[in-house]
């Protein structure tokens, strides 16, 4: 039975076209097949005409907004972003690690016979730490100074200011440049 697009080899050698389970060679039995040269690789997919390639986005660079063609800068400066990330890592990371550690400590205490801890206590303890981690996420975000200069160590005075800024930004539409 002949398969469309595959030429019979006629050589009877193993690996020729038409053998079950073998992939046919695109170059056939021509002169290129002996040298290991096959068909050219498929060209890269072309982009539709009139479609611009997306620009690489880097922090702090201006981006073109669709529609009006005006440029806008990044909303949060890099220094503020780094400050928020540090606070979030500490305020969320420590309680989350304690939540995971509560499982390990509970297992060790019960398996060695030191204490008989009910599973519900372990669940409530770890759940409490994970919830504290979620609160730490919000705390880290709102306690960081959103100004160029850093705030205090705990940032408690910034929480009210930042929440009011967030509420104000939700009430007003973005300003057109």
pLDDT at 120: 96
38 or 57: which leads in pLDDT: 38
Query: For residue range 124-162, what is the model confidence (pLDDT) as tens digits?
Result: 999 999 999 999 999 999 999 888 888 888 889 999 999
Confirm whether pTM is higher than 0.85.
Answer: no
Residue 61 has pLDDT above 70, yes or no: no
| Contact call for residues 33 and 27 (beta carbons, < 8 A) | yes
Hey, is 64 helix, strand or coil?
strand
**Distance separating alpha carbons of residues 25 and 14, to the nearest angstrom:** 13
Q: b/e map of 113-139 (b: 16 or more CB within 10 Å)?
A: eeeeeeeeebeebbeebbebbeebbeb
CA dist 145 to 13, 26, 57, Å? 75, 64, 25
* Mean per-residue pLDDT, 42-64: 53
What length does the chain have?
A: 177
Could you state, in order of their start, the residue ranges of all structural domains in the chain?
78-171
Residue of higher predicted confidence among 63 and 39: 39
Cα–Cα dist 147/155, whole Å: 12
Tell which phi-psi region holds residue 69, choosing left (phi > 0), alpha (psi between -120 and 50) or beta.
left
For 78-134, the pLDDT digits (tens) are 888 899 999 999 999 999 999 999 999 999 999 999 999 999 999 999 999 999 999
Q: What is the pLDDT of residues 5-42, one digit of tens each?
A: 555 555 555 545 555 555 555 545 555 555 555 556 66
């Amino acid at each position: 039975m002949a398969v469309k697009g595959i030429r019979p080899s006629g050589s009877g050698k193993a690996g020729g076209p038409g053998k079950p389970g073998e992939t046919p060679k695109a170059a056939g039995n021509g002169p290129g097949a002996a040298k290991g040269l096959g068909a050219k690789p498929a060209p890269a997919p072309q982009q539709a005409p009139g479609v611009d390639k997306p620009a690489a986005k880097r922090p702090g660079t201006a981006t073109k907004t669709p529609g009006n063609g005006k440029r806008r800068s990044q909303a949060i400066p890099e220094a503020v972003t780094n400050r928020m990330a540090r606070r979030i890592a500490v305020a969320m990371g420590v309680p989350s690690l304690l939540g995971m550690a509560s499982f390990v400590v509970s297992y060790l205490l019960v398996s060695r016979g030191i204490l008989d801890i009910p599973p519900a206590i372990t669940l409530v303890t770890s759940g409490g730490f994970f919830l504290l981690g979620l609160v730490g996420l919000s705390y880290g975000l709102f306690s960081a100074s959103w100004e160029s200069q850093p705030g205090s160590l705990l940032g408690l005075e910034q929480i009210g200011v930042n929440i009011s800024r967030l509420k104000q930004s939700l009430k007003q539409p973005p300003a057109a440049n």
